[in-house]
Amino acid sequence: MKARNQVRFVITIVTIVFAGEVCFASGGDFEYWSTAGASLDINRDWGCTFEEELRFKDGGGELYYHHSDLGFVYKGLASWIDLGVNFRKVYSKNSAGEWVQEDRPHFNATLKGKVFGLDVSNRSRLEYRDRENEKDLWRYRNKLTVKLPVELTRLKLQPYVAEEAFFNLDDEGFNRNRLYSGFSVNVSKKVKGDIYYLWQTTESNGKWEDVSVIGTGLKFYF
């Protein structure tokens, strides 16, 4: 791993954290989610990732969720699978409007390849939710993503669709589903962007509630 890339990776993480904390300290009809991240190749088989995400509700006007996620990915097993272990620190507002914390280590296995010319990936995630003032629990998430083999406009937008199902590994079982539709774009050789629409349905007290989300993301590669 080149020292120059190490320095750039650290600088990018510091910038992302600083920007996130500025927004976090500041003070509908839909929600807005904003994600920024970085990925660093440590060597041929191992990589390191970092991500910050902010979520705003009430028409995108009120910050209610923030997480930081650091992980390591092993890519040396085979070209069609990535294995990862991550730690996520979550801050979110509870029903009383108070900020609470959650520690969330998670383990990931992502299968990837081509099916009928389409780029397909399936990520299985097992996470342990160590929640403040709530019962801790294990949760399984499965996300299937399909990218179309086309590039639109001069920006070379690549459309994709995805579905993610959530299963609490207790009496609740399946209690959330997300449907995605969006575009990924290569901003430059080392920067990728993402814009998407997400429809999320969540079961709470026997009733399913839905929310619409507009999301954007940037990821830097080193």
Give 101's strand partners: 91
The pLDDT assigned to 151 comes to 85
For the chain, which residues make up each domain, given as ranges?
67-221
- pLDDT band at residue 113, thresholds of 50, 70 and 90? very high
Residue 147 CA to residue 149 CA, distance in Å, equals 6
pLDDT tens, position by position, 164-196? 999 999 888 999 999 999 999 999 989 999 999
Rg of the chain taking only CA atoms, in angstroms: 18
| pLDDT, the chain, mean | 90
The pLDDT assigned to 9 comes to 60
The pLDDT assigned to 152 comes to 84
Any alpha helices (H) in the chain, and if so which ranges? 3-25
Residue 19 near residue 36, CB atoms below 8 Å: yes
- pLDDT band at residue 200, thresholds of 50, 70 and 90? very high
Residue 63 near residue 12, CB atoms below 8 Å: no
Residue 200 near residue 210, CB atoms below 8 Å: yes
The pLDDT assigned to 27 comes to 42
10 Å Cβ neighbour count for 95? 5
Cα atoms in the Cβ-side hemisphere of radius 13 Å centred on 97 = 2
Residue 97, helix vs strand vs coil: coil
Residue the block writes with tokens 């299968």: 111
The pLDDT assigned to 105 comes to 98
Mean pLDDT of 25-53: 89
Entry pTM: 0.87
pLDDT tens, position by position, 53-77? 999 999 888 999 999 999 999 999 9
pLDDT tens, position by position, 127-165? 999 999 899 999 999 999 999 988 888 878 899 999 999
The pLDDT assigned to 18 comes to 53
Residue 155, helix vs strand vs coil: coil
**Res. 28: pLDDT tops 70:** no
Q: Which amino acid is at 214?
A: I
The pLDDT assigned to 19 comes to 55
* CB within 8 Å of 215: residues ≥ 6 apart: 32, 33, 34, 35, 182, 194, 195, 196, 197, 198
